[in-house]
Structure 1
Amino acid sequence: MKPLGRSMSAPSASPHPMTLEYIVEALLFAAEKPLSIAQLLELVNSRDLNADALQVQSALNTLSERYAGRGVELQQLASGYRFQTSVAASHWVAALFDERPPRYSRALLETLAIIAYRQPVTRGEIEDIRGVAVNSSIVKTLQEREWIKIIGHKEVPGRPALLGTTRQFLDYFNLQSLEQLPTIADIGETSDGLVDSLTDALKQDPGVVH
């Protein structure tokens, strides 16, 4: 097997030495969505290269170190890897866009926080925790954003749907897994603590680099 961390032959002449890091970097910049190691491996090898998963991971590690502390960084998410602008620069990046980020009601954020921390959970259980009814439009909005989905049904009379979060939820909030959510001990048991945690994350919505 060729050592792909070094220069390799390219389909056409290039002024830049073609390395696996070079190719992976280009793929991640061009991708509209995060790319997993399996997807990167398939793309890399689609042009007659012979890389393996460990080499792709090594290339990602190299890129992560190279971009650390810069305005653009390589972020690992639940769905894979992507380049995005740093959270620290989000205040200035926002000036590029005319549209303001969507504003979400406290009721929606409370509902999302309860699902994230208590899943799998039924709508009735959410209402018991909040102490008020959950508007159907809130559940619909969260499903349209692809932040929640039905992940089963509770085996009780009526078999109510069980709600849980999605990979898109993790990606949006810059998480690799649910284990990275702040712990209940850190933010408190109250809905205020849960909502404040999500609100802070929404304010720091990272910009994706295409």
Structure 2
Amino acid sequence: MSEPDDLVRAVEAVLFASERPLSREEIGEHLGGADVREALAELEETYRTRGVTLVKRGRLWHFQTAPDLAHLLRREREEVRRLSRAATECLAIVAYHEPVSRAEIESIRGVQTAKGTLDVLMEAGWVRIAGRRDVPGRPVIYATTPEFLTHFGLATRRELPGLAELRAAGLLDPVAEAMEREMDAHAEVASQSAESVEDDAMDGDTPSLDMGDQSA
């Protein structure tokens, strides 16, 4: 087995020494702007069958205990983080719809959402403020965090289960049903709009664009 080159060893050292997950760009900056893509790929393969593995969550890389060995390091008494039904529903909606405002969350859930519910999710480190929507009132919008991906063992949000999988597992049924209602409502509106346009065309009443007055 060939010895790893200096860049691979340097990347390995940076990741071990870091107190938090790092992006590829941040690792490169630590090493004078080096391109570390191949080094990360080599380390990922090297550690694939080791007691610790190199994983990528979103855009961030870090070492973690191999999943099949995690039980060996787990304390007998764990701190259990329990979310309320409202917080669980809000977290699911943010994950599937981000970035999303509180009003949009309430529209999907069909009930008002207390500010404290989102605060709980932000304190847990799973939801963050992602800016403001560029609309009147400029409402705050929310998104998930890299910690959310890490906690639930996801590389990206694309690995989130589909609605059918959630229902089969008996999880988040109210959210799944609310999402389906939203999709059905949108589909019905789109269908009605298409029928209206078709009826107008058959009646010879096709709308036209009036270009008569183009003054400011």
TM-score range, shorter chain: 0.5 to 0.7
Shift in Å, 1:137: 1.6
C-alpha distance in 2 between matches for 1:59 and 1:162: 36
Q: 1:21 to 1:34 in 2, by over 3 A?
A: same
RCO higher in 1 or 2 (8 Å CA, sep ≥ 6)?
1
C-alpha distance in 2 between matches for 1:121 and 1:70: 39
Shift in Å, 1:106: 2.8
Any unmatched runs of 5+ in structure 1? 7-18, 46-50, 196-210
Give the counterpart of 2:162 among 175, 183, 190: 183
Deviations 1:55-96 (Å, cap 9, x if unpaired)? x2222111111111333110011242100012222323212x
| Amino acid paired to 1:151 | G
Q: 1:92 to 1:130 in 2, by over 3 A?
A: farther
Is 1:192 the counterpart of 2:173? The answer is yes
Contact 1:79 1:171 in 2 (8 A): no
C-alpha distance in 1 between matches for 2:130 and 2:27: 30
Shift in Å, 1:109: 1.5
Give the counterpart of 1:76 among 56, 69, 77: 56
Identical aligned pairs, as a percentage? 36
Give the counterpart of 2:17 among 25, 30, 44: 30
Contact 2:129 2:140 in 1 (8 A): no
Give the counterpart of 1:52 among 28, 34, 38: 34
C-alpha distance in 2 between matches for 1:193 and 1:24: 45
What is the Cα-based RMSD across aligned positions, in Å?
3.0
Question: Which 4+ residue blocks in structure 1 deviate beyond 4 angstroms?
Answer: none
TM-score w.r.t. length of structure 2: 0.65
Contact 1:148 1:164 in 2 (8 A): yes
- Give the number of the structure whose alpha-carbon radius of gyration is greater: 2
C-alpha distance in 2 between matches for 1:27 and 1:194: 41
Give the counterpart of 2:72 among 71, 92, 117: 92
Aligned counterpart, 1:142: 121
| Amino acid paired to 1:113 | A
C-alpha distance in 2 between matches for 1:148 and 1:79: 16
| Amino acid paired to 2:123 | E
C-alpha distance in 2 between matches for 1:172 and 1:149: 19
TM-score w.r.t. length of structure 1: 0.66
Any unmatched runs of 5+ in structure 2? 177-216
Contact 2:24 2:60 in 1 (8 A): yes
| Amino acid paired to 1:64 | E
Q: 1:120 to 1:40 in 2, by over 3 A?
A: closer
Shift in Å, 1:26: 1.7
